[in-house]
């Protein structure tokens, strides 16, 4: 399998009608393939390896919006802090504190999504509901985080054929999103719900997602 521009255009049109942002997940894909999508007007790309992201940032046009979608190690934040557009997978307070610190060093405010653990897969990351609430409460204290803005939530459903289970998990995340969505402060500006990948993005969109992260359906299987 390889890059499928027609598929990309179909998905993009379908999502645009629903006001859903498409993040093209370009991890392990070539700079040349990313440029083909870029020439088609695409600007939002997602990566989940820091070194690879930095290397692609250096090689590619500077108006690309780079989304960091993977598990981010605290000691690597400094490499992406100068340019990252949105960090999807913030899964600990320690990480948020570090992003805040590195953003300050770069005179930036970095947009982040808090990752919530919604699935049955033990190997996934994210806050549980109580942890989410605790962090949201802290973040709503004026001046607590000056250089990060919590833009919403991100989650991954179970890796299963059971579409009902996937739907239940996404709906649950949407409920949390709506619940916390009332909070707007200097450091909280809830508007983005990132859920849905190649296999389950339509379920996610129907459950309330407004940002999907799609890789293999567009680029073909990863090399």
Ligand X SMILES: *Cc1c(COP(=O)(O)O)cnc(C)c1O
Q: Report the residue number, 7 or 101, with the smaller CB distance to ligand X.
A: 7
Of all helices (H) and strands (E), which one includes residue 220? none
For the bound state, the minimum distance from the C-beta of residue 144 to ligand X, rounded and expressed in Å, comes to 27
Q: In whole angstroms, how far apart are CA 25 and each of 6, 186, 200, 222?
A: 16, 30, 14, 10
Q: Judged by CB under 6 A, which of 4, 30, 159, 216 binds ligand X? A: 216
Write out the DSSP string of 167-190.
HHHHHHHHHHHHHHHT-B-SSEEE
Which letter does DSSP use for residue 98 in this model? H
CB distance 83 to 57 below 8 Å:
yes
Site for ligand X in 21-40 (CB under 6 A): 25, 27
Q: Report the residue number, 187 or 203, with the smaller CB distance to ligand X.
A: 203
Collapsed DSSP state (helix, strand, coil) of residue 151? strand
Binding mask 41-60 for ligand X (x = CB under 6 A): -------x------------
Q: If binding is defined by CB under 6 A, does position 155 make contact with ligand X? A: no
Number of Cβ within a 10 Å radius of residue 156 = 26
Site for ligand X in 69-88 (CB under 6 A): 69-70
Q: Judged by CB under 6 A, which of 185, 198, 208, 220 binds ligand X? A: 198
Q: If binding is defined by CB under 6 A, does position 197 make contact with ligand X? A: yes
Q: By the criterion CB under 6 A, which residues form the site for ligand X? A: 25, 27, 48, 69-70, 197-199, 213-217
């Amino acid at each position: 399998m390889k890059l499928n521009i027609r598929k990309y255009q179909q998905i993009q049109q379908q999502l645009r009608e629903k006001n859903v942002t498409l993040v093209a997940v370009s991890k392990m894909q070539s700079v040349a393939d990313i440029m083909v999508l870029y020439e088609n007007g695409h600007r939002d790309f997602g990566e989940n390896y820091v070194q690879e992201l930095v290397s692609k940032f250096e090689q590619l046009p500077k108006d690309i919006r780079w989304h960091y979608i993977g598990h981010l190690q605290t000691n690597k934040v400094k490499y992406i802090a100068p340019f990252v557009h949105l960090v999807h997978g913030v899964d600990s307070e320690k990480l948020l504190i570090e992003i805040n610190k590195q953003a300050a060093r770069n005179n930036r405010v970095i947009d982040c999504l808090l990752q919530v653990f919604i699935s049955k897969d033990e190997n996934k990351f994210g806050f549980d509901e109580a942890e989410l609430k605790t962090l949201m409460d802290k973040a709503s204290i004026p001046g607590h985080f000056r250089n990060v803005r919590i833009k919403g939530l991100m989650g991954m459903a179970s890796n299963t054929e059971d579409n009902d289970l996937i739907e239940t998990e996404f709906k649950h995340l949407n409920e949390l999103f709506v619940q916390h969505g009332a909070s707007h402060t200097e450091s909280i500006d809830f508007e983005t719900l990132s859920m849905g990948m190649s296999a389950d993005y339509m379920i996610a969109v129907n459950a309330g997602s407004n940002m999907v992260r799609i890789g293999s359906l567009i680029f073909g299987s990863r090399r």
